[in-house]
Amino acid sequence: MKLLRFGAPGQEKPGLLDADGTIRDLSGVLPDLAGEALSPEGLAKLAALDTSKLPAVSGSPRLGSPVARMTNFVCIGLNYADHAAETGAAIPKEPIIFLKSLGALSGPNDDVEIPAGSTKTDWEVELAIIIGRRAKRVSEAEAMDHVAGYAVCNDVSEREYQIERGGTWDKGKGCDTFGPLGPWLVTKDEVPDPQNLAMFCEVDGERYQDGSTRTMIFGVTKLVSYVSQFITLHPGDVISTGTPPGVGMGQKPPKFLKAGQTIRLGIEGLGEQTQRTVEG
């Protein structure tokens, strides 16, 4: 299934994308895509619905984040061997964990705000794992029992704030609109091998990232298990798993975003996002 949330910011309704590409309204079935709705049992109930009997949504409504009431927006740094190489960083011996502010979360096609005075705002296409069942100190063998599905994430980053201003990475990662997620949550049954997905990111029509989840250093099962040793994960939580090479920081010379540009990114089977950059 492809599950989504549509409507104005703060007023999103739950929905799904049917086999014909029509958005179907789920608000008569459940209040939102959160909590128990994302559990294996909750997803099984949704899968059993006759989608043709659900109200069709007309037009092209705004899409919000495909999950609601997230508790943790976890990100993994330097998790692609080829991306680590382009930045000159050593291959991590353990996953690098940082947290993105929940205030950074936005819809997949919402504007990305360039912070006032920023000169080094960057793009990062990433595979996001969406948690469906509470995970606390789970093993790798148990990890997939806690995964609801996957989505596309743009881990927008301000490199000066992240690298040059001292302290942790978080200040360069948590600005408003720096976490576009979606367009939908694709349930894990539709993604038989999350470690073999093509992914791309373009800016103003020029392709900069053209990679694959094959080059991830730590895979999905490892990351769910590892993060859960330190942070209890709840339904709707996201682990954004790192980015392949081609970010602006890695260009020679580096290239960064400015207002008035268009970012387009996507992952095989998970859909695409398109954002305009605006002054923050």
**What is the structure's pLDDT at 242?**
97
Q: Which residues contact 215 (CB under 8 A, 6 or more apart)?
A: 80, 81, 82, 83, 244
For residue 262, which phi and psi values (nearest 5 degrees)? -120, 130
Q: Which residues contact 137 (CB under 8 A, 6 or more apart)?
A: 228, 229
Token code pair at residue 114: 């360039």
* Pair 249, 204: CB distance under 8 Å: no
Is the peptide bond between 183 and the residue preceding it cis, with omega within 30 degrees of 0?
yes
* Pair 48, 6: CB distance under 8 Å: no
Burial class (CB in 10 A: 0-12, 13-18, 19+), 16: buried
**What is the structure's pLDDT at 83?**
76
Residue ranges matching CATH 3.90.850.10 in the chain: 73-279
Distance CA 115, CA 119 (A): 9
Distance CA 50, CA 7 (A): 23
Question: Which one, of 161, 186, 190, 191, lies nearest residue 173 by Cα?
Answer: 161
* Pair 79, 89: CB distance under 8 Å: no
Question: Which one, of 98, 99, 42, lies nearest residue 67 by Cα?
Answer: 42
Fold of 73-279: Fumarylacetoacetate hydrolase; domain 2 (3.90.850)
Is the peptide bond between 253 and the residue preceding it cis, with omega within 30 degrees of 0?
yes
The list of the chain residues with pLDDT below 70 reads none
Hey, how many other C-beta atoms are within 10 angstroms of the C-beta on 172? 25
